[in-house]
Amino acid sequence: MSFFPSAAWLKELDEKHQLFTERLEDPLAFEGGQFHFSAKDNLCARDFQARAGSLILKGYRPPFDATPIKRLRENGGLLLGKTNMDEYGFGSFSTNSAYGIPRNPFDIERCCGGSSGGAAATASLIRDHVALGVSTGGSISCPSSFCGVVGLTPTYGRVSRWGLIDYGNSLDKVGLISRTVRDIEQYLPVIAGPDHRDPTSQVQPPLDLRGEVRTVGVPEEARTGLSPEVAGAFEEALRDLQRSGIVVREVRMPSLRFAISTYYILATSEASTNLARYCGMRFGAMNENFDQGFNDFFSDTRSRDFGTEAKRRILLGTFSRMVGFRNKYYVKALQVRKQIIRDYQKVMEDCDVVLTPTMPFVAPRFDEIERMKPLEMYQADYLTCPPNLTGMPHLSIPCGYAHGMPIGMQAVAPHWQEGTLLSFARSWEGSFHYRFPEVAE
Amino acid sequence: MDKETVLKVARVARLRLTDEELERYAADLEDILTAFSVLDEAPGAEDFDLGPIKVEDVFREDEVITSIDASELREVMGTKEDWVRGPRLS
Amino acid sequence: MKIGLEIHVQLPTRSKLFCGCSTGGDAPNSMVCPVCLGFPGSRPFLNRRALEMGVLITKFLNCKITDRIWFSRKTYFYPDLPKNFQITQYESALGFDGHFMVGEKRIGIWRVHLEEDPGRVKRVGRAGEEVSLIDYNRSGVPLVEIVTAPDLSSPAEARDFLTDLIIELRRLIGVSGEEQTMRVDANISIGEDRVEIKNITGLKNVEKGLKSEVTRQTKLLAVGKRIVRETRHYDESRGVTLPGREKEQEADYGYIGEPDLGTYRIGPLAESMVVPETPLVRAQRMQKEHGISAQAARQIVLTDWELADLFESLSRRVGGDTAMSWTMGPISSGWKVLKANTDGSWKKVTDIVEAVSEGSMSDSEGRLRIAALSGGHEIEGINNGPSTDLDGLIVRLVDQHPEVVKDFKKGNEKAANFLIGQVMKETRGQFASKVIAEKMKRELGKRV
C-alpha cells in the first residue's frame, strides 16, 4: 500500500479532476434549487455501475435507483458519481477496495477512514456537496471523523434501504456526510420517510428536526484506549460544552465492551448470507464455464473475485451460524444486542445524548494500517460500533485538530431523535471553527 | 480455529482457499474468536429481536405490480432465448 | 412401516410471496423483478394474503398457532435459488402439533410453515453433461409446507392422506387440484433407518415411489442387508427410487433470521379467523346429522358443493333416506343443467320432492318434473304450497256437473277426465294427477 505515484497515473488523475471541476463550475448546472451529490458505491443508480468496491460486481449496472438516490434526484439533485469504499463495507480505512484506495485530503499518506471513505473525502473536498454514505458498524462516523466533516447516521429504518447493496440488513443505515450541519439538515428530510419497498422503513414516526441538548452523558468506558491527541481534543471539547452551559455527566455503560463482538457476529452472519448470491450467474462477474458442476462453478468465481477481507468475514459469518456454534455466537449476539439497547435507553433517561470521541486515534498512515492485525482493526471500532448495533441515530462532528489532522466526536441520541443531534451539532458549529483541506480552497 | 474447521467452513461458503490463505485465516479467526469469547460473560436478554427497532405486521397487499420490464432484467442476466444460463447440476 | 411426509402446496395468490410479480408466468423469465431474482439492493415485502392463507391452513389442521412469527434464511447453493438462500421459517413456524383425520385415523401434523419457491431448472445437453437453463417465474411463489408425523403405515394410506388433504385445501383456500400443485418429500422406514425420497410431484407418484421403495427395502432386509440412511430420488419414467444425484455436500443451512421482514403477530389473526366447513368435514357431519352412509356423504359432497346444499335442505324436509335417493337419482343425473337452470334457488326442486313425499304428487310425475327442470323446461304449476282443499273442490265440481255423474254411471269412466282436468287447472298442478283421479273416481262412485 505504499505510495509511489507514476507520471501516467498523475496525468490520468489530473484529467479526471479537470472533468469533474468543469462540471461543478458549469453555471447552468445548478440553478434554482439544484444541487450536486455523490453516492457511496453500494447504492444502486441507473447510469452508473454499482460495484460496492468488489470485483465480483464489476460491470454491474443496476436497472433501478436506490430510494435515497431517487428522492434526491427528484428534488433537484444531480448525481455526480459514485464514491469508493471498502468492499461491501468491510473495513474501517477504505483500504479494502478492488478499485484503488482513497487518500485523506488532509494528508495523502493517511487513510480516509471507512468504509464510506470516498464519500467523506468527497464531502471534505467539495464545497456545498452532500455525500450519501452508509453505515453498518461506524462507516459514516469513522471517515467523517478522519476527513474532518459532519456525518449523520440516522436511526435504523429512517431512510429506505431499497437499492442499498446489503452488508448486514439489521444494521445497515443510509446517511449523509457534508462539510456542515446545515447541508445535512436540508437533505435529511428528502431521503427520510417510509418507502413501500422497504418494510423496515414503514414503522418510523415523522421526522422532527427540532430538539434540545442540556445534558450530555460521557461513558467512563469511552475514555480509555484513546490516543493522547484524541483524548486532549475531546476533553477540551467537553470544557467548551460546559462553558456554553451544557451539563456533562459521567455515566457507566459496562455493556459497551461486548459491542464489538456482538456487532461482528451479527454483521458477518448476515453478510455471509447476503454474499451467497454472488456466484458468477445473473449479475456482476459472469462465469462462462457452464460445463462445470455448480459447486465448482460457484467456488471458482467466489474464490477469484472476493477480496481478502470479504473472504475473512464470509468465513467468520458462516462459522457463527453453523450447527453447533449458532447458539453460542449468532443467537447469543442477538440477545446481547437487546441488552445493550436497554443499557443505552437507561442511560438516556438522564441525558439527552451520549457523547464520545468518534475514533480513538486520528487517521492512521497506510504503513501503520499495513502492520495492523485484523482483530486490532476491528477493535478500533469500539466507539462507533455500539450506537450502530443499537440502531440509534448518531452524528460525528469535528471537535479539534492535531498536527493538521481532524478529530471528531460522536453524539448518540435515542431512536428517532435525529433532531436532537442536529440541534446539538448546530450549536457546536456556531462556535467551532472548521478547517478544510488546502486543495479545495 | 484449526485448519480443518476453516476448510469445512470454506466449503460450506463455496470458497476455495490457497495454502497461504488457509494459514492466514486460521490464525486470524483464532484471534478473533478468542476475543469474542468475552460474550460468554455478557448478560443477554431472555428474548431477542431480529433488528434494533420493532418492525411488526408490515404487509403489502396481494396485488400484481410491475415496475421494471422483465426484458431489461433478462438483459442484465444475459439470458439465452429468455432462459438464464447456469452450470451443470452435478 | 412408518411414513412421514413433507408436503409443499402452492398457495393461489395473485402475486408472489415477497414481491408484486404475478404468480402466473408463461414465457420464461417474464414474471420476474429484482426481488425474486435476488438482485443486489432488493428486499422482500410480505404478501398479506399469503400469510392469511397459511394461518388458515394451520388453524384448519388443528395446530397450536405460534403467537409471533418471523422468517429465516436457509442458505444453500443451487442454480435455481437466486439469492442462494431461501426465505422460509425455522424455529418459528405458523403452528405446531396439529392433526388431520383420514377416515377414522388421526395423522399427526408436526408443523406448518410458509416459504418461497425456487425457480424451475431444466437440463439441456448430452446425458451426464447437461448444463442448466433456469426460469425464475416460479421463484418467490408462496408455498405452505406441512410436515406430518410418521403416522402413515402404507403407501396407499399416504396417498389417501394426500387425496383427502388436497380436497380440503381446494375448498379452504382454492388451491388448484392439479397434480403439480403438490410436491412431496417422503420419509420411510421399514427397519430402523429412515430413507428420504425427495421432491416427488403429484399424489400418484408419491404412492408409486413409496411402493417401489418398500419393495427395495424389503428385499434388502430379506437377504440380511442393512438399510442405509440416505436421500433418494424417484425416477418417474422408470418407476424406481435412485440414490441422490448430487452428493449431499456439506449441508449446513446456517439458519439466521430474515431482518428485512420483522415479525408478525399471527396469534390474534388466527383468533379472528373462522375456518369454513370443508368437504370431508361436511361429509362427516352429514353422515351424523342425516343418518346416511359415509360413502354416500362423501360422494354427494365431492360431486358438487351445491348438490350437498340441496341434499341438506331436502333432508331437513323429507328425511335423509328420501333426500338421498332423490339426490343420487333424478337430481344428480341431470345435475349440471339443473344447477344452471335453477340458478342456485332450490325451491322448485325441494317443492317437487316434498310434494311426492307427502303423496300429493306422484313419484313418476315428480321425476318427470325434475327431468323437465334438468332439460330446461319447467312444467307449469307448483308455485304455491298445497293449500287448496282438494276434497271440497272435487265435491263442488261433481255437484255442479250432474251430466258427468250420469255418463259415469253409464260406465263411461272417461267422462271423469273432464272433471279431473278442471281440478288440475284449478289447483295448477299442486296435486299429483294420480291422486286427483283416485279421489275423483271415489267421489263419483259415491253418487252412483
SS3 C123: strand
Q: Which of A265, A315, A415 sits opposite B36 (nearest CB)?
A: A265
| Closest among C330, C336, C364 to C349, alpha carbons compared | C330
The answer to whether residues A71 and A46 touch, using CB atoms and an 8 Å cutoff, is no
Residue of A nearest to B59 (CA): A199
B15 is a domain residue = yes
User: Does residue B19 lie within any of the structural domains?
Assistant: yes
* pLDDT tens-digit readout, A197-251: 999 999 999 999 999 999 999 999 999 899 999 999 999 999 999 999 999 999 9
Give chain A's mean pLDDT: 94
Q: In what order do the strands lie in the sheet with C131-135?
A: B84-88, C131-135, C120-124
Non-local (6+) Cβ contacts of B37 within 8 A are none
Whether A14 shows a pLDDT value over 60: the answer reads yes
Kind and range of the H or E element at A368? Answer: helix A366-371
Contacting chains of C (3 CB pairs or more, <8 Å) are A, B
A252 or A2, greater pLDDT: A252
Q: Which of A203, A373, A375 sits opposite B55 (nearest CB)?
A: A203
User: What is the set of domains in chain A, with CATH numbers?
Assistant: 7-253+346-440 (3.90.1300.10), 258-333 (no CATH)
Query: For position C383, what pLDDT does the model report?
Result: 44
Question: How far is A154 from A160, CA to CA, in rounded Å?
Answer: 11
Instruction: Give strand pairing partners of C85.
Output: C75
Residues 6+ apart with CB under 8 A from A314: A268, A271, A272, A275, A306, B13, B15
Query: Beta-carbon neighbour count of residue C84 at 10 Å?
Result: 22
Write down how long chain A is: 441
Residue B48 resides in a domain: no
Nearest-angstrom CA–CA distance, A359 and A356:
9
- Within its chain, how far is the Cα of C37 from the centroid? 34
- At C101 the pLDDT is 95
Is A294 within 8 Å of C132 when comparing Cβ atoms?
yes
B72: Cα within 13 Å, side-chain hemisphere? 12
Q: What is the mean pLDDT of residues A124-149?
A: 96
Minimal-distance CA residue of chain A relative to C19: A197
pLDDT at residue number A213: 96
> In this structure, is residue B24 part of a structural domain?
yes
Residue partners of A439: CB distance under 8 A and separation at least 6: A105, A125
* A441 pLDDT more than 70: no
pLDDT in tens, chain C (448 residues): 999 999 999 999 999 999 999 998 789 999 999 999 999 999 999 999 999 999 999 999 999 999 999 999 999 999 999 999 999 999 999 999 999 999 899 999 999 999 999 999 998 888 777 889 999 999 999 999 999 999 999 999 999 999 999 999 999 998 876 766 789 999 999 878 889 999 899 889 999 999 999 999 999 988 988 888 888 989 888 888 888 755 455 468 999 999 999 999 999 999 999 999 999 999 999 999 999 999 999 999 999 999 999 999 999 999 998 999 899 888 988 888 888 877 767 888 889 999 998 888 888 888 888 888 887 555 544 444 445 678 888 888 888 888 888 888 888 888 888 888 888 777 766 677 777 888 888 888 887 6
Burial of A5 (0-12, 13-18, 19+ CB in 10 A): exposed
Q: Which pLDDT band, with edges at 50, 70 and 90, does A1 fall under?
A: very low
What is each CA distance from A88 to A17, A193, A307, B54, in whole angstroms? 26, 25, 10, 26
Angle between helix axes C433-447 and C390-400 (nearest 10 degrees) is 50
CATH of domain C390-447: 1.10.10.410
Q: What is the CA radius of gyration of chain A?
A: 21
The runs of H, that is alpha helices, within C240-381 are 266-272, 279-290, 294-303, 305-318, 320-326, 332-333, 335-342, 347-358, 363-375
- Give A57's contacts in chain C (Cβ within 8 Å): 40
Which chain B positions have a beta carbon within 8 Å of C136's beta carbon? 84
**Cell 436421500 maps to which residue?**
C231
What is the rounded distance in angstroms from the CA atom of residue A433 to the CA atom of residue B4?
Answer: 56
A427 touches chain C (CB under 8 A): no
A60 interface with C at CB cutoff 8 Å: yes
Q: For chain B, what is the largest distance between any 2 Cα atoms, rounded to a whole number of angstroms?
A: 58
Rounding to the nearest 10 degrees, give the CA dihedral for residues C60, C64, C67, C70.
Answer: -80
Per-residue model confidence as pLDDT tens digits over B26-85: 999 999 999 999 999 998 778 889 999 999 999 999 999 999 999 999 999 999 999 999
Q: Does B54 reach chain C within 8 Å, measured CB to CB?
A: yes
**Domain count of the fold of chain B:** 1
Mutate to test the interface with B, among A156, A167, A335, A392 (most CBs of B within 10 A): A335
Dist CA A102 CA A120 (whole Å): 10
Instruction: Specify the pLDDT at position A19.
Output: 76
- Partners of A261 on chain B (C-beta within 8 Å) are 35-36, 38-39
Question: B5, B6, B15: best mutation site toward chain A, by most A Cβ within 10 Å?
Answer: B15
pLDDT at C277: 96
Quote the pTM value.
0.89
Query: Measured between beta carbons, which residues in chain C are less than 8 angstroms from residue A291?
Result: 129, 131
Q: Tell me the average pLDDT across A148-159.
A: 98
Q: Could you tell me the residue ranges of all domains in chain C?
A: 2-272, 279-375, 390-447
Q: pLDDT exceeding 90 applies to what percent of chain A?
A: 89
Nearest to C34, CA basis, from C48, C45, C50: C45
Q: Would you call A332 and B39 a contact, using CB atoms and an 8 Å cutoff?
A: yes
Which segments of A81-194 does DSSP mark as H helices, in order?
A: 117-125, 141-147, 181-191
Dihedral Cα A239, A240, A242, A243, nearest 10 deg: 120
* Residues of A classed as catalytic: 40, 115, 139
Distance, C-alpha C355 to centroid of its chain? 33
Q: For residue A415, which residues of chain B lie inside 8 Å, CB to CB?
A: 52-53
Q: What is the pLDDT of residue C384?
A: 44
The span from the CA of C198 to the CA of C78, in Å, is 15
Q: Residue B22's domain spans which residues?
A: 3-38
Report the C-alpha gap between A115 and A168 in whole angstroms: 13
Q: Tell me the pLDDT tens digit for each residue of A273-297.
A: 999 999 999 999 999 999 999 999 9
DSSP designation for A80:
E
- C-alpha separations of A314 from A163, A167, A321, A336, C87 in Å: 22, 11, 11, 22, 19
Q: Which residues of C423-446 are buried (b: 16+ CB within 10 A; e: fewer)?
A: bbeebebbbbbebbbebbbebbee
Q: Per the domain annotation, does B58 fall within a domain?
A: no
The mean pLDDT value for A392-399 works out to 98
pLDDT digits (tens, 9 = 90+) for A67-103: 999 999 999 999 999 999 999 999 999 999 999 999 9
